Amino acid sequence: MRDVSLWREPVPPDGTMGEPRARGRFGEYGGRYAPESLVEACREVAEAFRESWADPGFRGALARLLAVHAGRPTPLTPAGRLSEALGVRLYLKREDLTHTGSHKINNVLGQALLAARMGRRRLIAETGAGQHGVATATAAALLGLEATVFMGERDIERQALNVFRMRMLGAEVVPVTTSSRTLKDATSEAMRHWVGATGDSHYCIGSVVGPDPYPWMVRELQRVIGDEARGQCAAELRTGVPDYVVACVGGGSNAAGTFAGFADTPARLVGVEAEGGAGASRGRLGVLHGCRSLFLQDDDGQITQPHSIAAGLDYPGVGPEHAHLRDLGRARYVTVTDDEAVGAAVRLARTEGIVPALESAHALAWVIRAAGDGDLPAGSTVLMTLSGRGDKDVSTLKELL
Ligand SMILES: *Cc1c(COP(=O)(O)O)cnc(C)c1O
């Protein structure tokens, strides 16, 4: 018998990772803490999404875009040489192979389609490293919408390539010069801008954060990862379902989408955070960007600046549903260091011929550590979402290796 003491058994009853309770609540988290005009705008988005998600026409149009534009379904790749070395059977869900190189495209194609259906002509987005901004600019170009992307001035300096890609795609990139001039400030600025533009613009949030319906809507738009992987595991694994399902967690969208496909199975869910951005592991209850969740704060309740080598994990909190899954004991959240992530990236490159995004390398770093210290029992089957490719990180890696 394997040691399962870290998870409370049995798996919680049906409804986990279903629709949130009234007013977008996941347990004590979530909600819609926004100025009045945005509460109304969020209500409209919620209504339009609920209706669209129940409409086979909308679902079909999105499925087609995901197939012909974004390259879905993505493969499930057995990591053969690495599995042998680790003594577990590791399978990679390859979101790095989607168009634009990460899972973010799944969400933005859905929201862009929704925006067009709502008669909006422009997408507003925030971006940190630029991945969500590039995905938004891509979806906007594809559907003939405008895109305005808010980005911290410091991130603009650090991510010149993605800034150029957004402009090449026709998006306007607006530098944010307040406070730390990074993602948290870009998000605040994008929300402020939306207040004056709700009539013609849709705010396209990049993760399972923000006011209701975003945490729920973005998880539903990302569940294509978990649903595909569930089917692929059923075909590939004798047991049908992996013992462990692992994904990295920034705001938590690739993890939420992956977990959603396995919430009703006995699979153990593991979210891997950056040591310096560990909202689920070390955050405290608070409200930020319209949502009640766990955030990194000082003793005065001020949000503190996260630090991670992976820009996509540099968010000071975590989505409300993850906070709830943690409380339920349905998912477990762990942290890895920058050094462990870099080591894991190099190891994947040299054993499997895949250069992962540094975000995804965090998930792998936990698998490697846990296989070594027995936290992952020998012979376990492990599904890990490889959220993106590493091209964007080459300049960071070049300085270290
Ligand atoms: C943005 C990003 C993440 C983190 O976002 P989540 O919402 O936590 O998924 C992880 N990996 C990659 C490649 C990203 O671009």
3-state class (DSSP) for residue 76: strand
What pLDDT is attached to residue 8?
A: 46
Q: 175 with 244, same domain?
A: no
Q: 384 with 280, same domain?
A: yes
Q: At what angle do helices 104-117 and 253-260 cross, to 10 degrees?
A: 90
The verdict on the CB of residue 261 being under 6 Å from ligand 1 is no
Q: 176 with 62, same domain?
A: yes
Q: 124 with 248, same domain?
A: no
Range of the domain at 298: 71-102+222-400
The verdict on the CB of residue 250 being under 6 Å from ligand 1 is yes
Q: 306 with 369, same domain?
A: yes
CATH number for the domain spanning 300: value is: 3.40.50.1100
Residue 240 has pLDDT above 90, yes or no: yes
Average pLDDT value for residue range 252-269: 97
Confidence of residue 23 (pLDDT cuts 50, 70, 90): confident
Ligand 1 atom with the smallest distance to the CA of 207 is 7
Confidence of residue 158 (pLDDT cuts 50, 70, 90): confident
Residue 5 has pLDDT above 50, yes or no: no
Q: What are the pLDDT digits (tens) for 294-348?
A: 999 999 999 998 999 998 998 899 999 999 999 999 999 999 999 999 999 999 9
- E strand segments, 38-139: 76-78, 89-94, 122-127
CB 309, CB 342: distance < 8 Å: yes
Q: What are the pLDDT digits (tens) for 369-384?
A: 999 999 999 999 999 9
Burial 81-94 (b: 16+ CB within 10 A, else e): ebbeebebbbbbbb
Q: 166 with 297, same domain?
A: no
Confidence of residue 401 (pLDDT cuts 50, 70, 90): confident
Q: 93 with 136, same domain?
A: no
Residue 13 has pLDDT above 50, yes or no: no
Tally of domains within the chain: 2
Confidence of residue 15 (pLDDT cuts 50, 70, 90): low
**Alpha-carbon span 389 to 360, nearest angstrom:** 8
The verdict on the CB of residue 131 being under 6 Å from ligand 1 is yes
Tell me the percentage of the chain whose pLDDT exceeds 70: 96
Distance 2 CA to ligand 1 centre (A): 31
Residue located nearest, by CA, to atom 13 of ligand 1: 388
The pairing of strands 76-78 and 146-152 is unpaired
Q: With CA atoms as reference, report the closest residue to 313 among 348, 337, 291.
A: 337
**13 assigned to some structural domain:** no
Calculate the average pLDDT of the chain. 94
**6 assigned to some structural domain:** no
* 2 or 329, higher pLDDT: 329
Q: 80 with 199, same domain?
A: no
Ligand 1 pocket test, pick from 313, 354, 393 with the greatest ligand atom count within 8 Å of Cβ, gives: 313
CB 131, CB 104: distance < 8 Å: yes
Ligand 1 atom with the smallest distance to the CA of 255 is 9
141 token code pair: 């170009």
Residue 148 has pLDDT above 80, yes or no: yes
C-alpha separations of 267 from 224, 244, 258, 262 in Å = 18, 5, 11, 7
Q: What are the pLDDT digits (tens) for 171-228?
A: 999 999 998 898 999 999 999 999 999 999 999 999 999 999 999 999 999 999 999 9
Confidence of residue 125 (pLDDT cuts 50, 70, 90): very high
Q: What are the pLDDT digits (tens) for 353-362?
A: 999 999 999 9
Q: 347 with 396, same domain?
A: yes
Q: What are the pLDDT digits (tens) for 65-119?
A: 999 999 999 999 999 999 999 999 999 999 999 999 999 999 999 999 999 999 9
Average pLDDT value for residue range 262-286: 95
Q: With CA atoms as reference, report the closest residue to 387 among 131, 55, 211.
A: 131
What pLDDT is attached to residue 3?
A: 40
C-alpha separations of 401 from 311, 345, 394, 397 in Å = 18, 11, 10, 6
What pLDDT is attached to residue 159?
A: 87
Residue 281 has pLDDT above 90, yes or no: yes
DSSP element (H, E) containing 173: strand 172-176
What pLDDT is attached to residue 97?
A: 98
